[in-house]
Amino acid sequence: MKRMRLLLAAGLVAACGFGASAIEPSHWGPYGNPEEPATRPYKAFWRGLKAFKYQVNATVRDGHRKAGAYGNVQFFRGVRRGLVEIGAGTYMGMAGQYPFPVEKTHTANEYIDADRRRAALADLPSTAALFWYGGLGSVGAVFGPGAVTIAQSEVDRYAMTPEERAEVAAAAAKTSLQNWEPDPHARNRQRPAGLKYSGPWKVLDEAPSPQVRRVTVETNPYSGDMIKKRRNGRIAD
């Protein structure tokens, strides 16, 4: 039975191999020898190592440009970018892609850096590992990345122009007006009340007069004075 399995696996490998095509060389050397595509994974890994050094130096320089010596905290962002360059670049090399220049940023890093929240989340694993192996133990690995994330955000904010800060504030104000209802199709509906509860409201007096004021009763059982509601037996089960 084991022999039959081995023969079947070998037959499948051979059948798939007949459909494979050779990868053409990307260039020819000065002496007429073609580039060997089989070495691309090794070239990509070597390119990733050089890109790691380049990304760390470039990110630290960018931090110095933003906030002087305080910009050294961008080192942790450069480490993340360098690790992504090694991993993603080597993966593409194993897939047969010719390594691109060291100065070019991989599309994976561009996607991560496109959203600052996503970038901060991606920075956490490598930052925690640096604190752990740096001798700060579990406490440093837990609280260190949070401090680094806050410091990096402050450096980015410090380098913003007034126009960029106004744009960020406008985006935050727009997000605060989103309607976070259980209905997923209503999440992006804006309302003047902001993030306050937008549940049903019952109006008892539609025509207020000087003697009778307009009274509204909140029908949401999970808001307001919960202790008082519990005493009155109004909390829904």
Q: Which of 202, 203, 206, 181 is nearest to 191 (CA)?
A: 181
pLDDT score, position 198: 46
User: What letter would DSSP give residue 1?
Assistant: -
DSSP state of 34: B
Question: What pLDDT, on the 0 to 100 scale, is given for residue 231?
Answer: 67
∠11-12-13 over CA atoms, to 5°? 90
Structure confidence at residue 199 (pLDDT):
47
Task: Measure the CA–CA gap between 175 and 195, rounded to whole angstroms.
Answer: 9
Residue ranges of the chain with pLDDT lower than 50?
179, 192, 194-208, 211-219, 237
Task: List the end-to-end C-alpha distance of the chain, in Å, as a whole number.
Answer: 61
CA distance 183 to 231: 32
pLDDT at 202: 41
pTM for the model stands at 0.60
Query: In angstroms, rounded to a whole number, what is the distance separating the alpha carbons of residues 74 and 68?
Result: 11
Burial 190-216 (b: 16+ CB within 10 A, else e): eeeeeeeebeeeeeeeeeeeeeeeeee
Angle at 186 between CA 183 and CA 188, to 5 degrees: 135
What does the pLDDT read at residue 85? 93
Per the listing, tokens 């073609």 go with 34
The SS3 call for residue 216 is strand
Q: If you search the block for the tokens 């025509």, which residue do you land on?
A: 207
* Res 160: pLDDT: 77
Which residues, at least 6 apart from 27, have a Cβ–Cβ distance to it below 8 Å?
34, 35
Coil/strand/helix, residue 220: coil
Both tokens of residue 236? 């829904």
pLDDT at res. 57: 92
Can you give the pLDDT at residue 116? 79
Alpha carbon of 228 to those of 84, 221, 231: distances in Å?
A: 54, 12, 5
Query: Tokens 């320089």 map to which residue?
Result: 61
* d(C-alpha 224, C-alpha 165), whole Å: 35
pLDDT at res. 217:
45
With contact defined as beta carbons under 8 Å apart, do 148 and 127 qualify? yes
- Amino acid 188: pLDDT: 54
